[in-house]
Chains A and B, each alone.
Chain A
């Protein structure tokens, strides 16, 4: 039972570099989302998707792009990394939106120097 898989687990970037955080789920869930977790703050929603081909912005979308070409995958792209993007990133999925239990990946810890 793989569930929600995130890669990589750790990443160090230099300011200005770009990268993609991968998220894949094998539960055929329609809803997928990305959060960031920072010390002293609750998880904050970056972007979400209600199905393949449909994405929308969350609370803190600036500096991030997403796409959803398949039901299984929901990658998060950092266009030009900044130190303020140092955080732990979590991908989550659910059968249909936020009314259902959310299933989280193990997270990607990102440091931007």
Chain B
């Protein structure tokens, strides 16, 4: 059974700092891994989707990496801004591409 873990559960950084969010998964036989952003009281917004054959994906100040052999993905946020404050969730697709397993998220606060 796939388990997805995100540590830490919460993180506070000053504006401008570069930061890394972690996502670990127990079953390396994944099809893809997706990173989402969730603002308070809102739905999830997909940020990046990394296919199993890829090592990383980039979008603006965001860079997500994937290392299947070690069961890890990271989301790198460059030059953090207060508007980046949100909960970030990762989700791994496993099974016969039929099950998306979510982590519980890292709540990020970027302070002025």
Contacts and interface: CB of A to CB of B under 8 A. Distances in A.
B28 interface: no
A40 B104 contact: yes
A100 B42 CA distance: 21
B34 A90 contact: no
Interface string A88-107: 00101000011111111111
B44 A90 contact: yes
B64 interface: no
B4 interface: yes
B43 A90 contact: yes
Main SS of the interface on chain B? strand
Nearest to B5: A42
A51 B42 CA distance: 26
B63 interface: no
A102 B43 contact: no
B93 interface: yes
Pick the most buried of A6, A42, A109: most chain B CB atoms within 10 A of its CB.
A42
Given A42-B4, A45-B99, A45-B100, A98 B44 contact: no
B100 A98 contact: yes
A42 to B, nearest CB: 3
Interface string B68-101: 0000000000000000000001010100011111
